[in-house]
Chain A
Amino acid sequence: MPGLYRIVEGVLDLQEAVGAVAGPGRGAIATFIGTARDHHEGRPVRALEYHAYPEMAERVMRDIGREAEERFGTPHVAILHRIGRLNIGEASVIIAVGAEHRREALAACAHVIERLKQIVPIWKKEHYADGAAWIEGSRLTPASG
């Protein structure tokens, strides 16, 4: 199955994701970039830190790509997720989906980011001026989702 699923230490490359899903049969490439925001629930955030279970995360990302292919007929999916410390504004996740037409490209891209947040074993820590906190997220599993 075509696709690119990778946990990355260091800056993410949008062109790498787009290049992995581009091709002559595709008339649309939808992309999503998640970036580090400088506040959370009213509290200023100085930096983000992501931690992953890389081997399982890449496997689950691949499962999500397969799910997108089944639901939307879009086998060309790329997911890059950064780990380590990020400055505000830097990309934490990049998703690209190549498809014949825009509708399924956009729908699949939206699906992939939602599922990533639900089930990929990655954790976010926010750093504040006076400390840091892990963000508790989703309890879904592929079976329950």
Chain B
Amino acid sequence: MLFARYREAAGARSIEVEVPANATLADVWAGVRSKVPALREERPMFSCDRVYAREDQAVTGREEIAVFPPVSGG
């Protein structure tokens, strides 16, 4: 799932990416960047099943994964 500026850049609420076995969030992000070149220089935040996660966290493909820019609510 993509949010805020990333969603606008991709023109989509979510995108599907292929990742290798034993993938991490970094692999997911690499897939996003290759599909959305406008995000190539970004350093995103990650969440996995609605909890903040680091990019070295392993993923199975069954999680709800989100990537988004630094937050600015309030």
Residue numbers of A with Cβ under 8 A of B are 34, 50-53, 55-57, 59, 81, 92-93, 113, 116-125, 134-139, 141-143
Q: Which of the residues A53, A117, A137 comes within 8 Å of B3, measured between beta carbons?
A: A53
Task: Check A56 against B73 for contact (C-beta < 8 Å).
Answer: no
B36 to chain A, nearest CB (A): 16
Binding site for A on B (CB under 8 A): 1, 3-5, 7, 45, 47, 50-52, 66, 68-74
Interface residue SS majority, chain B: mixed
- Of the candidates B45, B66, B72, which one forms a contact with A124 in the assembled complex, judged by CB atoms under 8 Å apart? B72
Contacts of A141 in B (CB 8 A): 45, 52
Contact B47 A56 (CB under 8 A): yes
- Rounded to whole angstroms, the CA-CA distance of A118 and B28 in the bound complex is 24
Partner of A117, one of B50, B52, B69, B74: B74
| Residue of B68, B72, B73 most packed against chain A (CB within 10 A) | B73
**How many angstroms from the CA of A89 to the CA of B52 in the assembled complex?**
32
C-alpha gap A59/B45 in the complex (Å): 16
Q: Are A134 and B69 in contact (CB under 8 A)?
A: yes
Query: Judging by beta carbons under 8 Å apart, are A53 and B47 in contact?
Result: yes
